[in-house]
Amino acid sequence: MQHHLVGILFLSVLPVFAQSGVQPGWRELVQDGEQLYVQQRYDEAGDKYREAMKTAEVTASEEVLARVRCDLGLVEVSRQHYVEAEPMLKGCPASTPIERLAAWTNLGTLYSLMNRYAEAERLFRQAYELARRDGFPTKTRALLVDNMANHSLRKGDYREAESLLREAQGLYVKSGLPWDSANSTGNLGVALVKEGRLQEARDELESAIRQTETLGGPSHPMLAGLLGGLAAVDDREGRYADAEPRLKRAVAIAGLDCPYLPELLSTYAWTLRHLHRAGEARRLERRARAMATTRRPPEIVSFSELLRESGKR
């Protein structure tokens, strides 16, 4: 369900519609929220889920409300409202094996984003053992492994991340999930950059860009991070003339709401300085500094970290 570069959360794994007594419109509101989530319009998605909860509050069971609240918690994670998300995710239903797997994985992902790594790893181990023992569908195992890989990226264990991302890629191919495969391919490129394997990283990032353009068109928001990651490879190889048009396109795609726009601008400015375009670079640096004072820290550790490193080299 999640098609941005945080990791794959289990939004809509749970059968929230398998209840009776739901008012007309409740189902549609949740479906609208899911579509907005796919489009990375997280504030609007949150509004839809809250409206759905109000609509269903009178007639729906507490279990239904808990499931919608759980999905709202995942939206709050994507909005980087981690403190608000924690009680919602702790309250997710967990009476069946699939519910326990989803609950442990989602809460583990949240703790990873909050740098609470020991708690995250305990939950991921529980989820992985449950998936191995109970033989869940390939799609479910792929989502779990991808979350674990993103956790490894955040904590800086890039070799472990590479291994998990390759496992996730294979599972996504078997499951027929092209969006998730593209996302995982991009993150694999990041892990390879961090390991210094630049040509392999370039191949993976270019593949992820091609997949994303085919699936979502030339302006899909996911491309901003992928293009920034590829520009980071160019940077390491001194190919500033190649990096410049990628960064220009990434900034245009990202838009003002992109959480790592300041890093894109700073890297773009740094690249322009190497191309002897100091005036343009200074203007971008001023924009980046102004934004950095008002933005939440980016939840996307992978690409934003590469961009920050590029601006310091």
Please indicate, yes or no, whether residues 199 and 247 belong to a single structural domain of this protein: no
Model confidence over 56-92: pLDDT tens digits?
A: 777 677 877 888 888 899 889 888 899 999 999 998 8
Query: pLDDT tens, 245-288?
Result: 999 999 999 887 777 788 899 999 999 999 999 999 999 999 98
Q: Which of 177, 195, 217 is the last residue of a domain?
A: 217
Distance CA 223, CA 240 (A): 19
Whether 254 and 296 map to the same domain: the answer is: yes
Alpha helical stretches, state H, the chain: 26-38, 42-56, 62-78, 82-90, 97-113, 117-134, 138-155, 158-175, 178-194, 198-216, 222-236, 240-254, 261-274, 278-292, 301-312
Domain of residue 282 covers: 220-313
Mean pLDDT of the chain: 83
CATH number at 181 reads 1.25.40.10
Report the C-alpha gap between 15 and 63 in whole angstroms. Answer: 11
Together in a domain, 236 and 275? yes
At position 230, the amino acid (one-letter code) is L
| One domain, residues 147 and 210 | yes
Same-domain status, 213 and 286: no
- 138-184 pLDDT, tens per residue? 888 888 898 899 899 989 999 999 999 999 999 998 989 898 899 89
Number of domains in the chain: 2
